Amino acid sequence: MSRPFLGVERSVSDRVWRERLDDASRGIALALVQEYGLDDLLARVLAGRGVTTSDIPAYLEPRLRELMPDPSTMIGMDEAAERLAQAIIARDTVAIFGDYDVDGACSSAVLAGFLDFVGVKRLIHIPDRLIEGYGPNSEAIQSLHAAGAKLLVTVDCGTTSHEPIDEARRLGMDCIVLDHHQAPDDLPSAFAIVNPNRQDDLSGLGHLCAAGVVFMTLIAVTRVLRAKGFWKQRGGEPDLMAQLDLVALGTVADVVPLRGLNRAFVRQGLQVARARARPGLRSLADIARVDGPMTPFHLGFLIGPRINAGGRIGDAALGANLLLTQDEGEAAVIATRLDALNKERQEIEVAMVAEAEAEALVALGVHEDHGNVIVTASEQWHPGVVGLVAARLKERFRRPAFAIALDGRGTGTGSGRSIQGVDLGRAVRAAVEAGLAIKGGGHAMAAGVTLRADQIDALRDFLEARLGEVSSDARAENGLVVDGAISAGGVRPSVINEIDKAGPFGSAQPEPLFVLPSHQVVDAALVGSQHVRARFRSADGTGIGGIAFRAAGGPIGDALLKGRGTSLHIAGHLTIDRYGGGERPQIRIVDVAVP
């Protein structure tokens, strides 16, 4: 491991700081500067993410056409595309069963938009999180069949839904599953299951979100219809590229790795989103006060949470309806409703997080020196918000964390979030197979579980035994990784724009993190109840503003508020604040250390 950056062995959030670049990557950065004339900071950022001199042209301008594999590399794709094409030609009613999160809403909207274009009647069902739970259920499938559906397509769900898919078959409906969640050996008896995380899928596309899988499926369907002469009769093919704003939103919000095809999806999807042609996204961006061109930060932290709010505590169909509507008035009404639900969700979350953190502190001990997996539960918690609580616990304690809402009748619904290097989804599936939960599964970084209240202690012990050592090692390795140091005087909009050429940033493509070394805290104050805004000054007198989101009451917020007049090392992401007009550099604070 490299030496601690600026000598920081323990920041206020108890993390060691390490430099991202080693000697080899410093050499690559120098070569990038010399061969391509890149800015030094941009070269450092690229080299720190494994980009070499031979990668530069394709990396800085990723082209979807060159990165897009043949959809048929995914097992089940040819069968799914042919069956969908048959339904379109026969003008059969197609039922779409989606998940209630952002990826589910985007996937549903992408598929529904395609069916609208070809003039096929479609039905969309997004399950109520509290009443129906995750994934297809027999009652909803019966209702869709009664409404005339002849083909069922599940998006962002269905890979483990044996009984509901059997019910669809009993009713005479074929079922196509378009999903990306980790899959068991035993798959449902669907007509086709397209999931790059099937254990028999060799496509290497397991990093796609569901919206990405749906997009590739529509490419395959378009190809089948082209071969059948369908588009000549229709007068032209759909512009699938116009759907990339939704694919980008689903990709960022579902926190799948931004590498290869996903990076191209987001890069080009952001260009589509910046054109503001989709009424729903435009209305939501305006109400969320998105400043400047759309970025992954806007998608992940401003747009995504508002769409999610409908599925968490309101009407789960609001998100998909917003993304599909072409009516400006309807878009404004739905966006306003989602914004109000998001504010309500935030209030619920604050109270739940406080209770969960208190429970976790007791479990971990005063010094937080034992316990490598956190499992919390309460009968007072809203089941639609437990995923956010788990995420806050993971951020605060840097451990895999679960938050479980108990229904008072002996059953709990929980959500978990993991840290880099710890596969939570696989562990949850193992717990289900061991009889320690009723059902569960998910990704490496996020998982869901349903269990009896009397199984919670056993699940906690199982996860600790299975993941404890891995979690401890991951925390030791996963300190705060820093791209470099820069003074306030060096942070200019032009510099930030240059660094952003290495983007988009997200999962597996970390946003560059820089340190303002020994900058004086000129002022610091609370913003609302959760955030801390501060102003810093370098040794030469240059000032820069900063914001620490959700830092109030925590070690970072306390260090800033109590540090007025002192010098601190400030670690964070360099951004441009465009609120109110103009362009002002600022730092989005991630950590603080005493020099």
Count CB atoms within 10 A of the CB of residue 75. 17
What CA–CA distance (Å, rounded) separates 76 from 159?
A: 13
pLDDT of residue 370: 61
| 458, part of any domain | yes
> Do 550 and 527 belong to one domain?
yes
Instruction: Examine the pLDDT at 367 and tell me if it is beyond 50.
Output: no
DSSP string, 571-591: EEEEEEE-TTSS-EEEEEEEE
Q: What is the DSSP letter of 455?
A: G
Domain that residue 574 falls in:
5-20+483-593
CATH code where residue 523 lies: 2.40.50.460
**Does the pLDDT value for residue 365 go beyond 80?**
no
* Helix (H/G/I), strand (E/B), else coil: 437: coil
- Asked if 578 and 562 sit in the same domain, the reply is yes
Domain end call among 451, 477, 503: 477
pLDDT greater than 50 at residue 355: yes
Pair 148, 188 in one domain: yes
Q: Provide mean pLDDT across the span 469-495.
A: 92
434 and 393 together in one domain: yes
In a domain, residue 313? The reply is no
Position 442 confidence tier, pLDDT thresholds 50, 70, 90 = confident
The answer to whether the CB of 505 falls within 8 A of the CB of 258 is yes
Residues 494 and 463 in one domain: no
Same domain assignment for residues 458 and 506:
no
535 and 442 assigned to the same domain: no
Q: Which of 432, 456, 477 is the last residue of a domain?
A: 477
Q: Choose among 326, 323, 385, 315: nearest CA to 354.
A: 385
How many domains does the structure of the chain reveal? 3
488 and 573 assigned to the same domain = yes
- 453, 499: one domain: no
Q: 477, 495, 520: which is the final residue of a domain? A: 477
> What is the mean pLDDT of the segment spanning 326-351?
96
193-202, 330-339, 365-374, 558-567: least confident range: 365-374
Mean pLDDT of all residues belonging to the chain: 94
Q: Is residue 39 part of a domain?
A: no
For residue 383, being part of any structural domain is answered with yes
The two tokens of residue 307 are 């769409």
DSSP H/E element including 516: strand 514-527
Instruction: State how far the Cα of 363 lies from the Cα of 453, in Å rounded to an integer.
Output: 18
Whether 83 maps to a domain, the answer reads yes
Beta strands in 139-291 (DSSP E): 151-155, 174-178, 192-194
Query: CATH code at 218?
Result: 3.90.1640.30
CA–CA gap between residue 561 and residue 568 (Å, rounded): 12
260: in domain: no
Any residues with CB less than 8 A from the CB of 108 and at least 6 apart, and which? 96, 98, 124, 126, 155, 320
Distance, CA of 158 to CA of 136 (rounded, Å): 6
- Span 109-127, average pLDDT: 98
Indicate the pTM of the whole model.
0.92
325 pLDDT higher than 60: yes
Torsion-angle region of 362 (φ positive above 0: left; ψ -120 to 50: alpha; else: beta):
alpha
Regarding whether 211 and 122 lie in a shared domain, the answer is yes
Judgement on whether residues 156 and 189 belong to the same structural domain of the protein = yes
Helix, strand, coil percentages (3-state) for the chain, rounded to 5, are 45, 20, 35
